[in-house]
Structure 1
């Protein structure tokens, strides 16, 4: 996993609409970059909708939210649309980015670990989360973000 104080590595992934998302897109504001195992499963849905319900609070703190998984883009698009998720979802179908940031042990991993990084405007990791309770994840991140801003 990335460590607090580490700069996130270069990457390019594909968003739910087929466009590229890269490291530079995270610069200039706070970012919550969360990894989730599988779209439309109970824990992932609870985590994503919890973040959705707090999206305005994140925006008030100038923090964008980006969710990442190994799901294909069509599945991410369906997940986003079915649950009215107002944030970017990206696919790491090669698993290369997940391995580079510790969300997967290797490229044979079936799903990513449920982890997240709170990243500052300079692309430095400020908090590392190992998510045990996805339903209440958003509130904890907002508490941390509030301390930094």
Structure 2
């Protein structure tokens, strides 16, 4: 089981391919606060709900100085189709080798319909402008998570 990050840890840097054909490197976002959220599979009901909640909250998150990046093990082509279908305007990046998922503690054993399986642990890590973990949440629920995250970060819901 991967070690989970805690407040005050240095966020592991990464460079991953994005759905739009670019690459996203965390260290390139220094000076910004970054919400990095990890989800199991593009296009599934829970992941769609969560992504659309981020989409619908993007203006208030950006207004408070946050950049949002979604990470899954899906191939870039699947992410591109997902982003287009759901009109997602924040980067979705592919971690097919699961190295970033492991580095962030978002890959490991979890309960799924009463069974223990190995996979993506739905998680959100907020990285401050200097690259330090500001908030780390694991085993989050897809529904209502973004609203809770905004409350935890003190962001006005409007």
> Does the alignment reach a TM-score above 0.5?
yes
1:115–1:128 CA contact under 8 A, matched in 2: yes
Are residue 48 (structure 1) and residue 55 (structure 2) matched?
no
Aligned counterpart for 2:10 among listed residues 7, 14, 17: 7
Consecutive unaligned residues in structure 1, runs of 5 or more: none
1:1-149 correspondence runs (5 A): 1-105=4-108, 111-146=119-154
CA gap of 1:42–1:13, structure 2 versus 1, over 3 A, is same
1:32-78, Cα deviation, whole Å (9 max, x unpaired): 10000000101100100011111111011010100000000010011
- Does the 8 Å CA contact 2:108/2:119 hold for their aligned counterparts? no
**CA RMSD of superposed structures (Å):** 1.7
* TM-score using structure 1 length: 0.90
1:145 Cα deviation after fit = 2.1
Name the SS for the 1:40 alignment partner: coil
Distance apart, 1:110 and its partner CA: 6.3
Contact conserved, 1:69 with 1:111, CA < 8 A, in 2? Answer: no
Match of 2:114 in 1: none
Q: 1:110/1:80 Cα in 2 relative to 1: closer, same or farther (>3 Å)? A: farther
Structure with greater proportional helix content? 1
Task: Return the alpha-carbon distance in structure 2 between the equivalents of residues 11 and 133 of structure 1.
Answer: 25
Structure 1 runs of 4+ aligned residues shifted over 4 Å read none
Whichever structure has more strand as a proportion of its residues is 2
TM-score (norm 2): 0.85
Give the number of aligned pairs. 145
Q: Which moved more, 1:117-126 or 1:20-29?
A: 20-29
Q: What are structure 2's unaligned runs of at least 5 residues?
A: 110-116
